[in-house]
Amino acid sequence: MASNVEAPERWYLALLGFAEHFRTSSPPKIRLCVHCLQAVFQFKPPQRIEARTHLQLGSVLYHHTKNSELARNHLEKAWYISQQVPQFEDVKFEAASILSELFCQQNLVDSAKPLLRKAIQISQQTPYWHCRLLFQLAQLHTLEKDLVSACDLLGVGAEYARVVGSEYTRALFLLSKGMLLLMERKLGEVHPLLTLCGTIVENWQGNPIQKESLRVFFLVLQVTHYLDAGQVKSVKPCLKQLQQCIQTISTLHDDEILPSNPADLFHWLPKEHMCVLVYLVTVMHSMQAGYLEKAQKYTDKALMQLEKLKMLDCSPILSTFQVILLEHIIMCRLVTGHKATALQEISQVCQLCQQSPRLFTNHAAQLHTLLGLYCISVNCMDNAEAQFTTALRLTTHQELWTYIVTNLASVYIREGNRHQEILAVIFATGPHRA
């Protein structure tokens, strides 16, 4: 009897071992890995093994192949079967999480949302997954530019984290909400929220790296808040603290001890990414304060670090950092008269945006604006007008729209006899918001 019970486990572990060996080979042998996992179904396994294998297959196919339909099929089966198995939360919620990512990749956002909502509804007794799924749905709403819904979800997450005794994750939810409020320009709501976050961060006692990463998140938002309000001089103390935080983090070793509260199992950014982000906000401050040489120095450092990171890390946020840094340094080049270098860097931004449709959507207006500024610098007013007109059509941001309008009006003034166009631009109502 004992041998009958152990037999399925032995064959399952053997196939699983082979699959993992092929997956982690160099280079990975994904086809053989998939064959080993598919072989599990030949043994008519119990539901727990069946659901987990569907999840493993779906995950491997999603992350390592272009066969998204087959990945979706396996993930849907994992989600369906795991709901029938008691105390099987990890498989159930991981299936929901990856499946919703796949739906988003296929532009099936309307399928992803109800899936995440259901998973959130049934995960309230599993703090880690409940928080993770709330973050995921909030991110989905943010990508759709529905910042109100995203803020509501982050507020729900903050309250849930407080109830389950996780001040660390509560701070992450609140800081994320603060970031979105800054994006919405709701500066009146940002200040009290940041004050609350500052208190929570300073009072929280836990993993030193997690604490310092919270402080970096908090200080980045404070610096951004001051810069948005045009309070350049107020930034300096925060920026100094931010740079000290990064130096502290770089001396700390990653603690392998897991937090006792499962709701604390989150980390905002890897410390290498935080270092680049601090360079970025330093560049933003230097540009606003008129320290152009300092802006160039920190941009060079950041771009060098980004190139090293991108050799090992394909995280999309690195490309976003790179584009924003390049946008700032291009402005700097144009101000200092380095037009040829500016054009080369505009070309770099184009190449980066071509690699990511989302990046292009988010930065197309800025790219056309930079091209318009370059055209002004080489006295090609017709081309400048065309670039600024396109940028106006693409932007949904009031500040960028105002900046473009100002430059377009300057083009009309330089050309002369464009009084009607100047008046039309000056009295235009503002950007179209999607």
Q: What Rg do the C-alpha atoms of the chain give, in angstroms?
A: 25
List the domain boundaries for the chain. 356-433
Query: What mean pLDDT value characterizes the chain?
Result: 90
pLDDT at 6 over 70: no
pLDDT digits (tens, 9 = 90+) for 255-302: 656 778 888 889 888 889 999 999 999 999 999 888 999 999 999 999
Predicted local distance difference test score (pLDDT) of residue 1: 31
26-77 confidence digits (pLDDT tens): 899 999 999 999 999 998 999 999 999 999 999 999 999 999 999 999 999 9
Tens-digit pLDDT profile for residues 215-270: 999 999 999 998 888 888 888 899 999 999 999 988 887 665 677 888 888 988 88
Q: Which tokens is 136 given?
A: 């995921």
DSSP state of 164: T
pLDDT given for residue 8 in this prediction: 53
Exposure letters 34-47 (e unless 16+ CB within 10 A, then b): bebbebbeeeebee
Q: How much of the chain exceeds pLDDT 90, in percent?
A: 69
Looking at residue 75, its pLDDT comes to 97
Q: How far is 186 from 178, CA to CA, in rounded Å?
A: 9
Query: pLDDT of 296-336, one tens digit each?
Result: 999 999 999 999 998 888 888 999 999 999 999 999 999 99
Instruction: Give how far Cα 263 sits from Cα of 140, 173, 388, Å.
Output: 21, 12, 47
CB 242 within 8 A of CB 219: yes
Enter the CATH code of domain 356-433.
Answer: 1.25.40
Residue 204: Cβ-neighbour burial (10 angstroms; 0-12, 13-18, 19+): middle
pLDDT by residue (tens digit) across 392-403? 999 988 889 889
Q: Confidence class of residue 208 from pLDDT cuts 50, 70 and 90?
A: confident
Report residue 90 as tokens: 């990890």
Q: Which strand (E) or helix (H) includes residue 429? A: none
Compute the average pLDDT of residues 96-108. 94
Asked if 327 and 305 touch (Cβ cutoff 8 Å), the reply is no
pLDDT value of position 33: 96
What does residue 35 show for φ and ψ, rounded to 5 degrees?
-60, -40
In this structure, what token pair is assigned to residue 416? 């002369």
- Dihedral angle, C-alpha 9, 14, 19, 22, nearest 10 °: 160
